[in-house]
Amino acid sequence: MRILLVEDNPADAELIRELLLEYPQHSFSVRHAGSLASALAALGDEGADLILLDLGLPDSQGTETVRAVRAAAQDAPIVVLTGLDDEDVGISMLQEGAQDYLAKGWMSGAVLVRSIRYAEERKRIEAELVRKNAELKAANEALAARKEELREREERLRRAQEIAHLGSWELADGRLSWSDEVYRIYGVRPQEFAATYGAYLESVHPEDRVRADAAYGDSVREGRAGYETEYRIVRRSDGAVRHVYERCTNLRDGTGRILRSEGIVHDITERKEHEDALLGMTRKLQRSNEDLERFAYVVSHDLQEPLRTVSSFAQLLERRYGEQLGPEAEEFIGFMTDGTARMSALITDLLEYSRISSRAQPFEAVDLGGAVETALENLAVRMEECGGRILCDPMPTVHADRMQMVRLAQNLLSNAIKFCPAGRAPIVKIRATRAGGDWLIRFEDNGIGIDAECCDQIFEVFQRLHDRSEYPGTGIGLAICRRIVERHGGRIWVEPAAGAGSAFCFTLPLQDRPTPSSSPD
């Protein structure tokens, strides 16, 4: 062990050196410095494993000496050499960083060696303590960081729950714990709420309490994994009735015994209110639709009667008095008969339009090819007259109202025949292709075509692009087509066909897809 002996008294220094040399087994090598300056120089040169330090040096005294040596040799233990009655000084030097002190007068070899060994051990323990302290500090800092992270996460969760009006709860061993948002939803403060299942049930609306209780109780008794339910609560803070949605998961051990139940509570009051308002409006709309349909039926039925009277008497007039009345009267009677026939057609078409939903049939599997054939049979005479041809590709089976599919095909085919220039035989190509989740059906004719800017308006009631003298009609046929297609969850439109003519296209959902309205709308 390399010992630096800092002592200005040569006799003391020699004595100490000799005492140390009595212990060859410790292999002490002793260097001597007589002043602070030479001690610091020796430490800078070679360092030391231990320093025996006299405090009163020619160039430094007391505390200053310890501090200076301490700073120059951080790792070496220091044993301070004091005068006989300087116990207090020795203790205060320990506070300055020395490991032990020895009164010079009492010094024996054994005492000196014991003090050196003690100082050495104490220095090692101090170093160990410093290291452990540093480790502890680092662990504490990591813990504080984790705590902060956890706090931030909890805060984020709390904010998310608040924004979504969604709280979470846990029930274990009869103790219920709620997140902040559940407290907010129920309008209670944590200190007011006895966190038990019974206290929770008290917040549920009296009319829904049995149901809410059964939802949980049944799921536990019947060994279910959880449940979903909706019920009303009475908010404690202001007595407001709120609607909540609750979803619970029961966690069980291997024997099926419940360990705990966890759940979420979602305040759905606003959504419920919107749904109720929407339901109210839908019911009102349904009622007004039914009223309108009844009105249309009564009006058309009652209007037909006087119309038939006018038409019959006009014909009688012509037959009995036609010759007496002359050609002009005959022409007028012709206008009358014509007018009543047109009005009768209008009323019939309007009635049909109003019945698309009121007289609708339930949806079934309908072969569209068969529907096209039936429509063609209904138009057989006109087809023969004009020499028209239908080229129909294989058609799919769809989920639809059979009669309405026939009506749809018949209206489109009838228009294709009607809106064909004189002298040209109408040709209609019918094709079906898949388009996403739909069938796309296309009726392409070689008729007069339609201006691009009129493509939308012709599907409105009474919208016609031609004069009746040119092409007869009521302007309701395509409006009926659109109502039928929309009732089946599809779309209808027209686009120019390649060459001349128009292509009427509509979509229908694939058969295995549910349709939006399979009941009257």
Binding site for ligand ADP (CB under 6 A): 415-416, 419, 445, 447-448, 450, 458, 463-466, 473-479, 502
As a whole number of angstroms, the distance between CA 422 and CA 98 comes to: 124
Please report how close the Cβ of residue 309 comes to ligand ADP at its closest, in angstroms. Answer: 26
How far is residue 37's CA from residue 520's CA, in Å, rounded to a whole number? 110
Going by C-beta distance under 8 Å and a sequence separation of 6 or more, which residues neighbour residue 114? none
Contact 471, 419 (CB under 8 A): yes
CB 268 → ligand ADP: shortest distance, Å?
45
Minimum CB distance to ligand ADP, residue 501 (Å): 7
Q: What is the C-alpha separation between 266 and 163, in angstroms, rounded?
A: 11
Q: Which is nearer to ligand ADP, 321 or 462 (CB)?
A: 462
Q: Are 426 and 407 in contact (CB under 8 A)?
A: no
Minimum CB separation from ligand ADP for residue 348, in Å? 12
Q: Which residue is nearest to ligand ADP (CB)?
A: 473
Q: Which is nearer to ligand ADP, 300 or 474 (CB)?
A: 474
Minimum CB separation of residue 371 from ligand ADP in Å reads 18
**8 A C-beta contact, residue 493 and residue 505:** yes
3 state SS of 57:
strand
**Residue recorded with tokens 């979803």:** 247
Residue 5, CB half-sphere, CA atoms under 13 Å: how many? 23
| Burial of residue 35 (number of CB atoms within 10 Å: 0-12, 13-18, 19+) | middle
- Pick between residue 210 and residue 454 the one whose CB is nearest to ligand ADP: 454
Q: What token pair was written down for 145? A: 């960081």
Q: Which is nearer to ligand ADP, 482 or 488 (CB)?
A: 482
Nearer to ligand ADP, 430 or 478 (CB): 478
Q: Which run of H or E residues covers position 397? A: strand 397-400
Nearer to ligand ADP (CB atom), residue 36 or residue 376? 376
Kindly tell me which of 261 and 415 has the beta carbon lying closer to ligand ADP: 415
**CA–CA distance from 59 to each of 6, 33, 199, 464 (Å)?**
12, 12, 82, 121
CB of 383 to ligand ADP, least distance (A): 15
Nearest to ligand ADP of 243, 483 (CB atom): 483
| Shortest separation between residue 425's beta carbon and ligand ADP, angstroms | 15
Shortest Å distance, C-beta 444 to ligand ADP: 10
State in angstroms the smallest separation of the CB of 508 from ligand ADP.
20
Of 102 and 479, which CB lies nearer to ligand ADP in the complex structure? 479
Check: CB of residue 202 under 8 Å from CB of residue 213: no
**What value does the CA radius of gyration of the chain take, rounded to a whole number of Å?**
52
Question: By the 8 A CB rule, do 412 and 376 touch?
Answer: no
Number of H helices, E strands in the chain: 13, 17
Question: To 10 degrees, the CA torsion angle through 472, 473, 477, 479?
Answer: 120
Cα separation, 517 vs 521, whole angstroms? 7
Closer residue to ligand ADP (CB): 179 or 474: 474
Q: How far is the CB of 468 from ligand ADP (least distance, A)?
A: 8
Note whether 382 and 472 are within 8 A (CB): no
